[in-house]
Chain A
Amino acid sequence: MLSFILPLLGRLHPLLVHLPIGFLIFGIILVFFPLKDFKNQVPFIRLAFLLGGISAALSSASGFLQYQHEGFGWETVQFHFYFGLATTAFSFWIFFYLKGKESIIPAIKYQAAGLSILLLLTGHLGGNITHGEEYLTEVLPPEIQSFLGREISENQGLVLPEQGWENLAYFEQVIQPILNSNCKSCHNPRNSKGELDLSSWEGVQKGGENGAIFHLVNWKESGLYSRLVLPLEDEDHMPPKEKRQPKKEEIELIRLWLEKGASPTLTLGQAQPELKILDPFFLREEIPFYPEIQPSLASEDSISFAKAKGFYVEPVFFGSAFLKVSCINFPEFTDADLKSLMGIRENIAYLDLSGTQGTEEILPSLAQFPNLTILKFNQMEIDGKNLEILSANSNLKWLYLNGTSIQFEQLDKLLQIPKLEKVFAFDTPLSQGAITKKYPFSLETGGFQLPKIPSDTIVY
């Protein structure tokens, strides 16, 4: 009847462990920084280590109970446990060692230093069990993480090749990655909640405390699937509602695998999945349109400043450091107004000066806008004499010169812009005749017509 006592005491472990940490650190501080006002502080220090030792013993005991009653593997807790015991013993040792001493001799300082290292290790190993080993490292910048040897891609989840996905082993190469990214953090050999290990085929086959997690006949009843599609509020819903939820296509893939017999040898091609459930997982290398190296976010103040001047200023998408700036509501813009944009010059990726009073004199200042990708000079007084200055804009891809007076000879000046892809020069002197010269960028001079044809006028 009182069988709940022991598990309950076990669960008090996370509470108790903070007592020895506090007492022992207090004692260690007193060893190194004795209070000036007292002649003999040894009794206080002894008290701190005594209380620390007692609470450490209680913590170790409760920890052992928790290990026995919850689903922790011995490999997971063993070092935490050993270090906990060592901390306890060492605390009592210092307590007895100090007996009869009247001042703090150097040996005590060495011992206190040793104890603090033990305490740190014990606490850290305990933290690893509750929060996971990646708790501290995963917030570090990726460069430091890879320096520390941590594999970042481990939990990126399912990725499929667009060609040859048919030959993938359905369980090993599709289901297991889905389980790894959605379930493994709580269901693995070291931390097997519900006595379930979803990190390997053996674990999946074995099931959890409620038995098998998939049924071959009544596959819809399989816990591996049915718990995923329960309402989020249902307490049996998995993953727990506060955790990241799987994509609907991931659930579809699990459903299909169960439906097709949940065999470990099935290939993805044999299961004949609809392409649309695979589509989100295809690895597509998208070349980002805007420069890859992002500047830091522009300050609110400099954005408001530009807006107050009359510019349209918005990020190219929510949260992006790149800004689109246009003079659509600011046709009075002259070259001198460009200085209002200097505070955000590194952020401007899209600059539309169409229809303004700006002139070619603005080009040298634009060289200070390193991330310009789209630049629009439509209907401006520009004849292209100084266009070679734009070669400083190494990220420029699209250049709009519609309605300007750019001349054919000036086009060669654009050859120096390394990433230039498209030039629009409709309604310019270039539109007059056909241009046969080939450029590395596409040149649109427009002037299309739809010649009249007889059927234009036939009425049926």
Chain B
Amino acid sequence: MSHLEKLLGELQTRKLQNQTRRHFLLDCVSKVGGLALAPLLFGCDLGKSNSVPKGLQLSERDLNPLAPIPAPFLAKAKSIIYLHMAGAPSQLELFDFKPELAKLHDQDCPESLLEGRKFAFIRGVPKMLGPQAQFSQHGESGAWVSDFLPHFSKVVDEVAFLKAMHTDQFNHGPAQLFMQTGSPRLGRPSLGSWVTYGLGTENQNLPGFVVLTSGGKTPDAGKSVWGSGFLPSVYQGVQCRSKGDPVLYLEDPKGMSRNLKKQVISAINQANQEDFENFGDPEILARINQYEMAYRMQIEVPEVMNINDEPEHIHQLYGTKPGEESFANNCLLARKLVEKGVRVVQLYDWGWDTHGTDHDGSIDMGLRNKCREIDRPMTALLIDLKQRGLLEETLVVWGGEFGRTPMQENREGKVQGFKGRDHHVDAFTMWIAGGGVKKGMSYGITDDFGFSGLEERTSVHDLHATILHLMGFDHEKFTYEFQGRPFRLTDVHGELIRSVIA
């Protein structure tokens, strides 16, 4: 009994200690001042509302930062699936067919290509490296695709290739940041965060922006590639694991029933609600909402992240093996998430950095194996979205952070044991497909070696501007005020790539 008294006494002391001058003043303002102001502000409505003070203009966003808001313009797509091949795949073995380069194979690289340029690893005069794949034309559009992607070559009529992409960062980390946040330095919100901030999410039981990784490694740039930068952190990507629990600590701990947890959360929320009625701070409401959302997600996330219930023909289509961490499983999950109304899904697949330093990093062998891991799943993703009518409303983006050189890499001036290519910023290929994208299109022309874009060059900012356009934004108007100036995803750059918009 004395323990209880002690506790109560402690409670009393703490309570008094917490009653600061600030509380007194606040109570004066909100109670005495409020009484005087009430008839002026609220008229006869006073007392009708029991939770939110009437004078407080609270938007849905104040209570729930992920509440959906309409896009400024009619969007062609409502969701994005972004497939990022971390490490940068070689465009010269996949999409950019250069027969002239084959003729120069093993010859010294012309001086004109090297003048005034810096490469990540190439030093001195390297040898040229001809295409290591067999190319042929596919589909009605006649798109060139190599034998590294035999399945994908059947769906080329669904996509638009950007063959003269260029960037200005030749190291993975900065280049990935640039590709995902529009700036090679840390601190900017990612594309997915911008979109989630601008549109919110339709399904209130799931995060708005989900990230899945495969290939055994996360991107070099770390989690900042799906970070929220200066946007509120609620808009950052939620990384889910494709193996085991999708989100750690989501399962109920042993001995803790779901019901008990529900009671705990409602007790916390009740306390918060009382606090809100005292102080009227909308942050408290946001907090209450987040507790509730977290609880709802606990039920929905394991369900949507479970691919076991998919029918066998879908597993065969994607080549999925439940329980593994694989790009195939992630592709299937991406489809499920988009179907459930998730706004942005990003898949990072590591293992594309083919320098030729070992077997796995070789252009002619390792790259083939790597391509096999993605060829069926990404093709399956496109046709599965198509057969469900989801491709009409979903934008699919595929690409690395840069391209690879037409030259054989000569790290430390030595000949490599395997065929490999160095990082290359001047020309690489990406493709986009789905909502609002012209089908069977190829945009951008590179020179005979695939070294530089000649015509229809497109920058990372141009791609961002186009993605935002398809999602219903004007990239020049979509800003966020930070450190005294409005920021955009495309900063002061970016031109819409109109030719690939349907």
Q: Does A460 sit at the interface, judged by CB under 8 A?
A: yes
Q: Does B73 sit at the interface, judged by CB under 8 A?
A: yes
**A317 pairs with B68, CB closer than 8 A:** no
In Å, the complex CA distance between A453 and B69 comes to 46
Q: Kindly report which residue of chain A lies nearest to residue B364, judged by CB atoms.
A: A460
CB distance from A399 to the nearest CB of B (A): 9
Q: Which residues of B have CB within 8 Å of A424?
A: 387-389
CB distance from A349 to the nearest CB of B (A): 11
Contact flag A276-B317 (CB < 8 Å), given A444-B389, A460-B364: no
Q: Which residues of A have CB within 8 Å of B71?
A: 317-318
CB distance from B371 to the nearest CB of A (A): 10
**B205 pairs with A314, CB closer than 8 A:** no
Q: Which residues of A have CB within 8 Å of B204?
A: 329
Contact flag A320-B70 (CB < 8 Å), given A426-B387, A460-B364: yes
In Å, the complex CA distance between A385 and B365 comes to 56
**A328 pairs with B202, CB closer than 8 A:** yes
**B383 pairs with A448, CB closer than 8 A:** yes
**A317 pairs with B70, CB closer than 8 A:** yes
**B388 pairs with A426, CB closer than 8 A:** yes
**A317 pairs with B73, CB closer than 8 A:** yes
Chain B 337-354 interface mask (CB, 8 Å, partner A; 1/0)? 000110000000000000
Q: Which residues of B have CB within 8 Å of A279?
A: 498
Report whether over half of chain B's contact residues are helix, strand or loop; otherwise say mixed. loop
Contacting residues of chain A (264-284) with chain B, CB-CB under 8 angstroms: 276, 279
**A450 pairs with B379, CB closer than 8 A:** yes
- Count, chain A residues at interface, CB 8 A: 33
Contacting residues of chain A (375-406) with chain B, CB-CB under 8 angstroms: 378, 398, 400, 402
In Å, the complex CA distance between A371 and B364 comes to 56
Contact pick for A459, options B369, B388, B392, CB 8 Å: B369
**B380 pairs with A450, CB closer than 8 A:** yes
Q: Does B151 sit at the interface, judged by CB under 8 A?
A: yes
Q: Which residues of A have CB within 8 Å of B498?
A: 279
Q: Which residues of A have CB within 8 Å of B70?
A: 314-318, 320
**A450 pairs with B74, CB closer than 8 A:** no
**B387 pairs with A444, CB closer than 8 A:** yes
In Å, the complex CA distance between A448 and B74 comes to 31
Q: Does B368 sit at the interface, judged by CB under 8 A?
A: yes
Q: Does A455 sit at the interface, judged by CB under 8 A?
A: yes
Q: Which residues of B have CB within 8 Å of A176?
A: none
Q: Does A301 sit at the interface, judged by CB under 8 A?
A: no
Q: Does A440 sit at the interface, judged by CB under 8 A?
A: no
Q: Kindly report which residue of chain B lies nearest to residue A282, judged by CB atoms.
A: B498
Contacting residues of chain A (428-456) with chain B, CB-CB under 8 angstroms: 444-450, 453, 455-456
Q: Which residues of A have CB within 8 Å of B364?
A: 460
Q: Which residues of B have CB within 8 Å of A446?
A: 387-388
CB distance from B366 to the nearest CB of A (A): 8
Contact pick for A312, options B154, B202, B392, B472, CB 8 Å: B202
**A450 pairs with B317, CB closer than 8 A:** yes
**B387 pairs with A314, CB closer than 8 A:** no
In Å, the complex CA distance between A444 and B385 comes to 11
Q: Which residues of A have CB within 8 Å of B154?
A: 450
Chain B 269-313 interface mask (CB, 8 Å, partner A; 1/0)? 000000000000000000000000000000000000000000001
In Å, the complex CA distance between A400 and B498 comes to 29
In Å, the complex CA distance between A382 and B366 comes to 49
CB distance from A229 to the nearest CB of B (A): 14
**A329 pairs with B205, CB closer than 8 A:** yes
In Å, the complex CA distance between A400 and B387 comes to 11
CB distance from B220 to the nearest CB of A (A): 25
Contact flag A449-B317 (CB < 8 Å), given A318-B70, A320-B70, A460-B369: yes
Contacting residues of chain A (297-343) with chain B, CB-CB under 8 angstroms: 312, 314-318, 320, 326, 328-329
**B472 pairs with A317, CB closer than 8 A:** yes
Q: Does B62 sit at the interface, judged by CB under 8 A?
A: no
Q: Which residues of B have CB within 8 Å of A398?
A: 389, 392
Q: Which residues of B have CB within 8 Å of A402?
A: 388-389
Q: Does A422 sit at the interface, judged by CB under 8 A?
A: yes
Contact pick for A422, options B203, B389, B495, CB 8 Å: B389
Q: Does B99 sit at the interface, judged by CB under 8 A?
A: no
Contacting residues of chain B (62-76) with chain A, CB-CB under 8 angstroms: 68-75
Q: Does A147 sit at the interface, judged by CB under 8 A?
A: no
Q: Does B137 sit at the interface, judged by CB under 8 A?
A: no
Q: Kindly report which residue of chain A lies nearest to residue B393, judged by CB atoms.
A: A374
CB distance from B139 to the nearest CB of A (A): 15
**A449 pairs with B74, CB closer than 8 A:** no
**B386 pairs with A317, CB closer than 8 A:** no
In Å, the complex CA distance between A459 and B202 comes to 43
Contact pick for A328, options B151, B203, B389, CB 8 Å: B203
Q: Does A289 sit at the interface, judged by CB under 8 A?
A: yes
**A312 pairs with B68, CB closer than 8 A:** yes
Q: Which residues of A have CB within 8 Å of B384?
A: 448
Q: Does B372 sit at the interface, judged by CB under 8 A?
A: yes
Q: Does B376 sit at the interface, judged by CB under 8 A?
A: yes
Q: Does B13 sit at the interface, judged by CB under 8 A?
A: no
Q: Does B316 sit at the interface, judged by CB under 8 A?
A: yes
Q: Which residues of B have CB within 8 Å of A449?
A: 313, 316-317
Contacting residues of chain B (388-408) with chain A, CB-CB under 8 angstroms: 388-389, 392
In Å, the complex CA distance between A426 and B368 comes to 33
CB distance from A410 to the nearest CB of B (A): 18
Contact pick for B150, options A314, A378, A453, CB 8 Å: A453
In Å, the complex CA distance between A446 and B317 comes to 12
Q: Which residues of A have CB within 8 Å of B472?
A: 317
CB distance from A278 to the nearest CB of B (A): 11
Q: Which residues of A have CB within 8 Å of B151?
A: 450, 453
CB distance from B433 to the nearest CB of A (A): 15
CB distance from A67 to the nearest CB of B (A): 43
Contact pick for A320, options B74, B368, B386, B387, CB 8 Å: B74
Q: Which residues of B have CB within 8 Å of A289?
A: 74
Q: Which residues of A have CB within 8 Å of B203?
A: 328-329
Q: Which residues of B have CB within 8 Å of A445?
A: 387
In Å, the complex CA distance between A448 and B68 comes to 34
In Å, the complex CA distance between A424 and B387 comes to 7
**B387 pairs with A448, CB closer than 8 A:** yes
**A455 pairs with B68, CB closer than 8 A:** no
CB distance from A275 to the nearest CB of B (A): 9
Q: Kindly report which residue of chain B lies nearest to residue A284, judged by CB atoms.
A: B498
CB distance from A431 to the nearest CB of B (A): 9
**A328 pairs with B150, CB closer than 8 A:** no
**B388 pairs with A448, CB closer than 8 A:** no
CB distance from A18 to the nearest CB of B (A): 36
Q: Which residues of A have CB within 8 Å of B368?
A: 460
Q: Which residues of A have CB within 8 Å of B387?
A: 424, 426, 444-448
Chain B 67-90 interface mask (CB, 8 Å, partner A; 1/0)? 011111111000000000000000
Q: Kindly report which residue of chain B lies nearest to residue A277, judged by CB atoms.
A: B495
**B386 pairs with A444, CB closer than 8 A:** yes
In Å, the complex CA distance between A456 and B202 comes to 38
Q: Which residues of B have CB within 8 Å of A422?
A: 389, 392
Q: Which residues of B have CB within 8 Å of A316?
A: 70, 74
In Å, the complex CA distance between A422 and B366 comes to 42
**A455 pairs with B372, CB closer than 8 A:** yes
In Å, the complex CA distance between A85 and B30 comes to 64
In Å, the complex CA distance between A398 and B392 comes to 10
CB distance from A92 to the nearest CB of B (A): 53
In Å, the complex CA distance between A445 and B387 comes to 7
Could you tell me which B residues sit within 8 Å of A by CB distance?
68-75, 147, 150-151, 154, 202-205, 313, 316-317, 340-341, 364-366, 368-369, 372, 376, 379-380, 383-384, 386-389, 392, 472, 495, 498
6 more CB-based (< 8 A) A-B contacts, given A426-B388, A446-B388, A460-B368: A315-B70, A317-B70, A422-B392, A444-B387, A450-B379, A459-B369
Pairs across A and B, CB under 8 Å, 12 listed: A290-B74, A314-B69, A317-B70, A320-B74, A326-B341, A398-B392, A444-B389, A446-B387, A447-B387, A449-B316, A455-B150, A460-B369
Could you tell me which A residues sit within 8 Å of B by CB distance?
276, 279, 289-290, 312, 314-318, 320, 326, 328-329, 378, 398, 400, 402, 422, 424, 426, 444-450, 453, 455-456, 459-460
